[in-house]
Amino acid sequence: MTDHAVFTDRTAAYYTLGCKLNFAETTTIGRSLLAQGVRTARPGEVADICVINTCSVTEQADRRCRAMIRKARREHPEAFVVVTGCYAQLSPEEIGRMEGVHLVLGGESKLDVSQYLGELKRSSTAARIIHSPTKDIRTFRISSSSDERTRHFLKVQDGCDYRCTYCTIPKARGRSRSGSIAEIVEEAQRIASTGGNKEIVLTGVNIGDFGRGNGETLLGLLQALDEVEGIERFRIGSVEPNLLTEEIIAFIAHSRRIAPHFHIPLQSGSDEVLRLMKRHYDSALFRSRVELIRHYLPHAFIGIDVIVGMRGETPELFEESYTFLQSIPFSQLHVFSYSEREGTPALSISYIVPPQEKHKRSQRLMRLSEERLRAFYQAQVGRPARIIWEQGNYDGLMLGHSENYVRIAQPYDALAVGSLSTLTPQALHDSGTYLY
């Protein structure tokens, strides 16, 4: 039985690490506590409850999570400390042994903070751990959050059925599952009714897998969301290239509200490395998807994820990947260094890339990315763009993003924040980071 007195006149502080999916889930946890009477602590206010939503995608992420737990304890020394998220699912006992942690919630229970918090006793010396095996993580609940600008992040899918050799996410988040089109449209309509949020970003672990098992598809979801009034644009998160169909691309080209913005994980341009990773496509398929986008949407933004230094990535295979990237018309790279994760099949691959070599390869790819992004921005000069203006005064300028995710600046006007306008950028800023 929950003791609701726990919530009376209480405040909570929230800490989130990792992806936008985590931020959406943290916000949902916050809303559930607010419904019980727990308000968010103001800046500098000592909170009664700390909720820490963790990430575990890399070893560095694990270190950051441990540091965040210690930070929360310093800032709120008398608080109930609740740790959830991917790190809590993968290493619950390790977290439970950390000083000052009261409650550890695994993947199946991460949104049930209020339920378990009511059962806590301050006198307890050991952390309570609520944890289910990964195979038992089956629940999907819609989550959404707003950033400090003008967009909302809406969780439409969770989990992953892929078994990439370097990745722990399927173990942390379970099998692929998603909401229904009807309930996601309902949540989008709710967000629209609040006003001020002109853009919704669809988030998930493997969005392209949306609807598997219930007869629905990502295309069907996009078609339904395109009819939602009150939202200017919907932006799609990362989609696996083998799930990004020509039908989806063609629909986006003629849609009213789906932004011409694509985030596609390549990970490597070498077919041998893709085989070692156990990805579900080859470089030829990836090239075909990029070319289809450019055919239907010549000015679309195409962001690509790349992992450098994967076990087995010899210098020759890296050069093969680099040459492939040079040959395709992307807009920007998101470069990640391979991080070894305990229990992953990649650890059985014998060839290891030294850290200094990973760094060198990352730097080469980042220079290529900077060149491409600058060229992409330059190509937008003189092209009319629809801009949603965001908060923030940057030396007398305000920034906003176009439908194809180009940053554009104009003189700061507080009344323009959150508004939509159409203008034609005239020049590329010296920094190469925005047009004005």
Q: Are 271 and 283 in contact (CB under 8 A)?
A: yes
Range of the domain at 72: 4-136
Q: Could you tell me if 306 and 387 lie in one domain?
A: no
Residue 186 CA to residue 24 CA, distance in Å, equals 16
60-64, 115-119, 198-202, 285-289: which range is least confident on average? 115-119
Residue 317 and residue 221 share a domain = yes
- Indicate whether 209 and 267 sit together in one domain: yes
The whole-number pLDDT of residue 275 equals 98
Are 54 and 179 found together in one domain? no
pLDDT at 3 > cutoff 80: no
Verify that 22 and 113 share a domain, yes or no.
yes
pLDDT at 89 over 70: yes
Contact 178, 156 (CB under 8 A): yes
Does the pLDDT value for residue 327 go beyond 50? Answer: yes
Please count the other Cβ atoms lying within 10 Å of the Cβ belonging to residue 433.
Answer: 14
188 and 116: one domain? Answer: no
Lowest-confidence pick of 190-204, 214-228, 267-281: 190-204
Write down the pLDDT at residue 1.
46
Is the per-residue pLDDT at 298 higher than 90?
yes
Residue 89 and residue 131 in one domain: yes
Per-residue pLDDT at 20 = 87
**Spatial distance between the Cα atoms of 6 and 18, rounded to a whole number of angstroms:** 29
pLDDT at residue 119, as a whole number? 60
Please give the residue that has the higher pLDDT: either 8 or 93: 93
Examine the domain organization and report whether 181 and 314 are in the same domain.
yes
> What is the token pair recorded at 404?
């194809």
Q: Mark whether 16 and 109 lie in a shared domain.
A: yes
Q: What is the number of structural domains in the chain?
A: 3
Distance of CA 163 to the CA centre of its chain: 19
Q: Which of 80, 111, 136 is the last residue of a domain?
A: 136
397 and 347 in a common domain:
no
- Give the CATH number, domain containing residue 54: 3.40.50.12160
Residue 321: pLDDT over 60: yes
Residue range 102-159, pLDDT digits in tens: 999 999 999 988 888 776 555 556 889 999 998 888 889 899 987 656 789 999 999 9
> Per-residue pLDDT averaged across 43-72, rounded?
93
User: In whole angstroms, how far apart are CA 389 and each of 32, 127, 199, 381, 416?
Assistant: 30, 45, 11, 18, 7
In this structure, are 262 and 280 located in the same domain? Answer: yes
Q: pLDDT: is 393 or 316 the higher one?
A: 316
Specify the DSSP class assigned to residue 280. S
Please report, to the nearest 10 degrees, the dihedral formed by the alpha carbons of residues 338, 160, 81, 132 taken in order: -120
Instruction: Express each pLDDT in 230-259 by its tens digit.
Output: 999 999 999 999 999 999 999 999 999 999
398/411 Cα distance (integer angstroms): 6
Residue appearing with tokens 């034609």: 424
pLDDT on residue 249: 98
Domain boundary among the residues 91, 112, 136 is at: 136
User: Of 364, 379, 394, which marks where a domain is finished?
Assistant: 379
pLDDT digit string, tens, across residues 396-432 = 999 999 999 999 999 999 999 989 999 999 999 988 8
Pick the closest to residue 333 from 357, 377, 368 (CA basis).
368
Q: Residues for the chain: how many in total?
A: 436
Q: Mean of the pLDDT values across residues 359-365?
A: 98
- Cα 154 to Cα 197: distance, rounded to the nearest angstrom: 12
367/404 same-domain check: no
Through-space distance between the first and last CA atoms of the chain, rounded to whole angstroms: 58
Q: Which structure tokens are listed for 231? A: 């939202």
> Looking at residue 254, which CATH number applies to its domain?
3.80.30.20
| Mean pLDDT of the 68-91 span | 94
pLDDT of residue 333: 98
- Asked if 375 contacts 402 with a C-beta cutoff of 8 angstroms, the reply is no
Point out which residues pair with 154 in neighbouring strands.
Answer: 144, 202
